Structure 1
Amino acid sequence: MASPDSTIVLITGANQGLGFEVAKKLATDHPGYHVLMGYRDAAKGEEAIAKLKGQGLTVDGVIIDVTDDTSIQSAAKQVADQFGRLDVLINNAGVITEGRLPEGTSLRQTWQASFDINTTGQVVTTEAFIPLLEKAAVPRIVFVSSALGSCTGRLDPKDQFAAFQFPAYRSSKAALNMIACHYASLYGPKGWKVNASDPGFCATNFNGFRGWGTPESGALQTVHLATLDKDGPNGTFSNTDGPLGW
């Protein structure tokens, strides 16, 4: 049960991978945070919650599908009814569609699916929760992006990800970075902290466990940005090594 002084944080896509690790670290290292784990599949979500509650952590669940407007509105209403506000929104839900959709999926469908989850879904979710974020003392939004979304990095032949293709994923994350800039510009003057994080190439189900980093390490920068105080930065794109080129 959240106390009136708890910091209420919602993480989308939190039942596995990086989202799960972000939820775990927030609940472990910041006991004043009441973590709401967002997920599409109720059974998988409840299993993830049970794991963390079994470790004595304070977490609850919210069903939210960022591709479904009705689901998003229902989640916002649930948070409003239970807590009356939201202090931190972590837009973590994401997907790589290239090579992972059913045979026969067209190029257009592949790109649309990528943008639907990685970009459009983040905007619709953010807009739904802005009225609740406005009630927070220091509203914070973290967009979980990727170094693959860096236009600066893509143009650098020596970039560590130069051999990685995935143009739909890259483009959807580059667009997500612009969304982060938009909200940072819009709400930064009001004291909000809106930033984009890069978790790095971590070994999770998201990439078939091919990453070289751990999920735990991938959660660090997102957690850092989610726990900024009123003097923290706004409008940044970074990982644990520092700022990244947009």
Structure 2
Amino acid sequence: MPDISPLDVTNQRTLDAAFKHIEEEFGSLDVLINNAGISKDGGVSPSQLEPSILKETFETNFFGMFAVTRTMLPLLRERPNGRIVNLSSGLGSLTINSDPNSEWSRFNLLAYNSSKTAVNALTVMLAKEFKNTSLKINAADPGYTATDLNRHTGYRSVEQAAGIVVRLATLPEDGPTGGFFDENGEVPW
């Protein structure tokens, strides 16, 4: 496979180059896993967060995901059973965020959490648009996974987190679309 430039979800030029490469090399795309994400809240209370941090977070976590999806949709629609898996987070669940007894209630991160809530909305809206097609679009909560995003403080391995992503990427024809799932089933919105 020829070397291609890195994909930057905030740079349409790199998205177009990736599209062209996939189209020329493969002609279509079976699965799109949207996993770009940043968190720069830094423990700052929501009312004290700099607007620039909120904008930067949404630029990557939401607008970047939307741009990648929009760019790759023609390739996905070439397949009889295309799949889109949007990496979200339990922190994007309004139900979980509003529960003071949730294990996640201590994470009051305006930029990150609300960007993942927006990812969930994007998932629902796209699934509604393509409900009469074979394309399946779902959001995945991989859990608190040890990654660079959280300085490897998560208690789950990348391999554990990948389980729900793989399951959603390989859904059968009668599988769900427009849902939010973790390894235990549906996650509340």
Amino acid of the structure 2 residue aligned with 1:92: N
TM-score normalised by the chain length of structure 2: 0.92
Query: How many residue pairs align between the two structures?
Result: 183
TM-score normalised by the chain length of structure 1: 0.72
The alignment status of 1:132 with 2:75, answered yes or no, reads: yes
Measure the CA separation in 2 of the matches of 1:99 and 1:68: 25
The alignment status of 1:205 with 2:156, answered yes or no, reads: no
Q: Deviations over 1:170-192 (max 9, x none)?
A: 00000010000011111121121
Kept in 2, the 8 Å contact 1:188–1:194? The answer is no
Deviation (angstroms), 1:73: 0.9
Amino acid of the structure 1 residue aligned with 2:166: V
Measure the CA separation in 2 of the matches of 1:227 and 1:234: 12
Deviation (angstroms), 1:215: 1.3
Paired position in structure 2 for 1:149: 92
Measure the CA separation in 2 of the matches of 1:90 and 1:241: 20
Measure the CA separation in 2 of the matches of 1:221 and 1:113: 27
Q: What secondary structure, in the 3-state scheme, does the structure 2 residue paired with 1:189 have? A: coil
Does 1 or 2 have the higher relative contact order (CA < 8 Å, sep 6+)?
A: 2
Paired position in structure 2 for 1:76: 19
Measure the CA separation in 2 of the matches of 1:138 and 1:145: 22
Please point out which of 67, 71, 86 is paired with 2:29: 86
Measure the CA separation in 2 of the matches of 1:62 and 1:114: 23
Measure the CA separation in 2 of the matches of 1:206 and 1:110: 15
Deviation (angstroms), 1:72: 0.7
Deviation (angstroms), 1:137: 1.0
Measure the CA separation in 2 of the matches of 1:78 and 1:72: 10
The alignment status of 1:219 with 2:162, answered yes or no, reads: yes
Q: Deviations over 1:114-136 (max 9, x none)?
A: 00000000111101011111100
Measure the CA separation in 1 of the matches of 2:62 and 2:32: 15
Give 5+ residue unaligned stretches, structure 2: 44-48
Q: What secondary structure, in the 3-state scheme, does the structure 2 residue paired with 1:138 have? A: coil
Measure the CA separation in 2 of the matches of 1:207 and 1:77: 33
Measure the CA separation in 1 of the matches of 2:66 and 2:163: 24
Please point out which of 53, 59, 65 is paired with 1:110: 53
Please point out which of 123, 135, 156 is paired with 1:192: 135
Pick closer, same or farther for the CA change 1:61–1:225 going to 2, 3 Å: farther
Measure the CA separation in 2 of the matches of 1:72 and 1:61: 11
Give 5+ residue unaligned stretches, structure 1: 2-59, 101-105
Paired position in structure 2 for 1:240: 183
Root-mean-square deviation (CA), in Å?
Answer: 1.6
Deviation (angstroms), 1:62: 6.2
Q: Deviations over 1:67-105 (max 9, x none)?
A: 1011111111111111111111000111102129xxxxx
Measure the CA separation in 2 of the matches of 1:97 and 1:111: 8
Q: What secondary structure, in the 3-state scheme, does the structure 2 residue paired with 1:81 have? A: helix
Alignment of 1:155-170 (within 5 A): 155-170=98-113
